[in-house]
Amino acid sequence: AQSVTQPDIHITVSEGASLELRCNYSYGATPYLFWYVQSPGQGLQLLLKYFSGDTLVQGIKGFEAEFKRSQSSFNLRKPSVHWSDAAEYFCAVARTGTASKLTFGTGTRLQVTL
Amino acid sequence: DSGVTQTPKHLITATGQRVTLRCSPRSGDLSVYWYQQSLDQGLQFLIQYYNGEERAKGNILERFSAQQFPDLHSELNLSSLELGDSALYFCASSAHGGRDSYNEQFFGPGTRLTVL
């Protein structure tokens, strides 16, 4: 079965600093990969997704992620964090062929200091 | 606003009771998914319905059941509630069933269930 690991439970960055959130997955083939963001009291919003092709994917709100097959990673990055980016971020994976079921990581809570 | 609505927003009940959570998908979406978010288990997929039929099943307890009605809204029924069932329950919808390809899932704001 596929699984997702987000090793950082909580990260604090200063506004304007760069951000990288780590995600490692376990799956026998190339899965579908996603990053979602959850703001307090809100549902989950899709930031970006990777299915195939270019390993660097661009998302909304200035986020990007890079798929590295050799490292089984799909890290999320942003060059300059804004205070409004404070939220919880979830990496998720879906098996190709049964793409409906999302398996989520445990999440990383991002705090932004001014 | 994702277009997915969930009612109620909050629900407080006692152990042993039964509750029903309701989800209305985005207009035109045929698939509905239910997820549970708890401190112990994180975000877990429970079940998916596509156009009224069960399409995929995850870690859903036997005490839980769901259905999707002809108007495509869905209900998640939780019975014989235990303290550990306290969680945030999300509904998501997508255009199609996603059997062979991914269809983006749009999440509702969730229903927070507290079992006392």
Most confident of A38-52, B8-22, B46-60: B8-22
Q: Which of B43, B53, B55, B101 to mutate to test the interface with A (most CBs of A within 10 A)?
A: B43
Q: Give the E-state strand segments of chain B in sequence order.
A: 5-7, 10-13, 19-24, 31-38, 42-50, 53-57, 64-68, 74-78, 87-94, 106-107, 111-115
pLDDT of residue A86 exceeding 90, the answer is yes
Nearest residue, CB atoms, A97 vs list B31, B48, B100: B100
Average pLDDT for B29-50: 92
Average pLDDT for B102-115: 90
Q: For chain B, give the percent of residues with pLDDT over 90.
A: 79
Task: Identify the pLDDT of residue B2.
Answer: 85
Average pLDDT for B100-116: 87
Express each pLDDT in A28-66 by its tens digit.
Answer: 777 889 999 999 878 899 999 998 888 999 999 999 999
Average pLDDT for B39-62: 91
